[in-house]
């Protein structure tokens, strides 16, 4: 058996386990990873990621950003010149820490997980004569990034990245459109550990909401932030209520600090429109499979193109039918009318019409559930993600 390939994963996120970090942790938990890769992770000391890696027995190494850079957000937000200058200064310091770590570990590949990490890892890999693989979890487009940020990303990618790995073909097309060479881009769709996503018999969520057994529960799950569509979800709930249809609506998730005012505004809308009896907020669920299992339908309401749509494959795996926004990477997951529904983004009437038809047709729901689980088993497993990444590691 060949000697395991040493790979240094790079992820600076210090306060939360976001989608990129969850995907990374699940991938590193696979037995095949221990056989083929000697995996190390450069991460922020004291972070949730570091704690989770310790439980997995994966070596972690001190690499983090100072607050000036860690709190500098470029996705959908502007920032002043002073913050930009401080951020770039801190990036140089973080890059030097990563360089020292790389000198000691001598990894064959540096695999970075966020945009800021791409820039640091790319510089270090080029100087050390190593390969730099960028795991791109965002859509590089005007929907999310300003023109200057996109230009910087493309320039750095062309100079520093050996290979870019977006999580959807939509993401790949966006990179090509912005000027990244197509031959340096390989799509690897996300996957989930199927054993963790079996249908649960739990009724805890429904019991907390005091639902009748025959009362439909319609959910939206994910981070609470404007583009994820919670406001649209409330418009759907309001129209559903206006038509006097049975059912309750639940928003599962939480807002990060900067989105706390948005969450408060949603709750004010619920009060103003007298939807308290119909719409409830539920905190982030550690056992998301059990929560999704108790929904009759999962709605995906993102108003901007989704890079992938992990919650969709989670719901399909546990046997909950989905109706999702027809944009971004979502059509690469859901085949309309076969294993789920696709609605016009931002169109509450379309969602309501599809939801009405689905809840009125038990056979359609059963067909979607069966086809959805099969789709995940065939296309969205962690084992497939590992095999795809291993081929990329070999190629670089």
Domains contained in the chain, CATH given: 5-191+381-395 (3.40.50.2000), 194-379 (3.40.50.2000)
> Whole-angstrom Cα distance, residue 270 to residue 234?
8
- Radius of gyration in angstroms for the set of CA atoms belonging to the chain, rounded to a whole number: 22
Q: What's residue 64's pLDDT? A: 76
Residues in the chain: 396
Type and span of the H or E element at 251: strand 248-252
**Confidence (pLDDT) at 72:** 47
**Residue 86 corresponds to which tokens in the numbers above?**
């401080």
The answer to whether 292 and 320 are in contact (CB under 8 A) is yes
pLDDT at 1: 61
Alpha helices (H) in the chain, listed in sequence order: 19-28, 31-36, 48-56, 67-70, 81-105, 115-128, 147-160, 169-178, 204-209, 230-242, 260-272, 288-293, 310-318, 348-359, 362-379, 382-395
- In order along its 396 residues, the chain shows pLDDT tens digits of 678 999 999 999 888 888 899 999 999 999 999 999 999 999 999 999 999 999 999 999 999 776 655 554 555 445 555 555 566 677 888 899 999 999 999 999 999 999 989 999 999 999 999 999 999 999 999 999 999 889 999 999 999 999 999 999 999 999 999 999 999 999 999 999 999 999 999 999 999 999 998 999 999 999 999 999 999 999 999 999 999 999 999 999 989 878 999 999 999 999 999 999 999 999 888 899 999 999 999 999 999 999 999 999 999 999 999 999 999 999 999 999 999 999 999 999 999 999 999 999 999 999 999 999 999 999 999 999 999 999 999 999
Residue 83 CB neighbours (<10 A): 15
Phi, psi of 257 (to 5 degrees): -50, -45
pTM: 0.93
SS3 347: coil
Q: Residue 35: CA atoms inside 13 Å, Cβ hemisphere, count? A: 7
Tokens 């340096």 -> residue: 184
Q: Which two tokens stand for residue 174?
A: 């966006």
């Amino acid at each position: 058996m060949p000697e395991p390939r040493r790979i240094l994963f790079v992820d600076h996120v210090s306060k939360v386990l976001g989608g990129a970090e969850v995907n990374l942790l699940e991938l590193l938990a696979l037995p095949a990873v221990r056989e083929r890769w000697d995996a190390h992770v450069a991460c922020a000391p004291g972070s949730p990621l570091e704690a989770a890696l310790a439980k997995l027995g994966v070596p972690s190494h001190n690499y983090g950003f100072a607050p000036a850079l860690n709190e500098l957000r470029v996705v959908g937000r502007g920032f002043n010149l002073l913050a930009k200058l401080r951020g770039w200064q801190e990036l140089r310091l973080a890059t030097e820490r990563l360089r020292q770590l790389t000198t000691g570990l001598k990894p064959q590949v540096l695999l970075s997980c966020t945009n800021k990490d791409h820039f640091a890892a790319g510089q270090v890999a080029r100087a050390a004569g190593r390969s730099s693989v960028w795991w791109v979890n965002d859509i590089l487009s005007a929907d999310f990034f300003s023109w200057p940020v996109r230009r910087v990303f493309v320039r750095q990618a062309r100079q520093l990245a050996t290979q870019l790995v977006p999580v959807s073909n939509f993401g790949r097309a966006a990179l090509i459109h912005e000027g990244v060479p197509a031959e340096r881009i390989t799509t690897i769709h996300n996957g989930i550990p199927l054993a963790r996503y079996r249908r649960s018999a739990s009724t805890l969520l429904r019991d907390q909401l005091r639902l009748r057994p025959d009362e439909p529960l319609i959910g939206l799950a994910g981070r609470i932030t404007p583009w994820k569509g919670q406001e649209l979800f409330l418009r759907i709930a309001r129209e559903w209520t206006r038509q006097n249809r049975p059912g309750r609506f639940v928003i599962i998730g939480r807002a990060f600090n900067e989105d706390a005012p948005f969450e408060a505004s949603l709750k004010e809308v619920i009060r103003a429109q007298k939807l308290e009896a119909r719409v409830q907020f539920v905190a982030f669920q550690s056992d998301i499979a059990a929560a999704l299992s108790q929904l009759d339908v999962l709605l995906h309401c993102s108003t901007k193109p989704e890079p992938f749509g992990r919650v969709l494959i989670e719901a399909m795996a546990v046997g909950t039918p989905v109706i999702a926004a027809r944009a971004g990477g979502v059509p690469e997951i859901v085949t309309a009318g076969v294993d789920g529904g696709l609605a016009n983004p931002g169109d509450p009437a379309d969602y309501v019409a599809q939801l009405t038809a689905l809840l009125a047709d038990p056979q359609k729901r059963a067909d979607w559930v069966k086809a959805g689980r099969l789709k995940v088993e065939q296309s969205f497993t962690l084992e497939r993600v590992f095999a795809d990444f291993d081929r990329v590691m070999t190629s670089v």
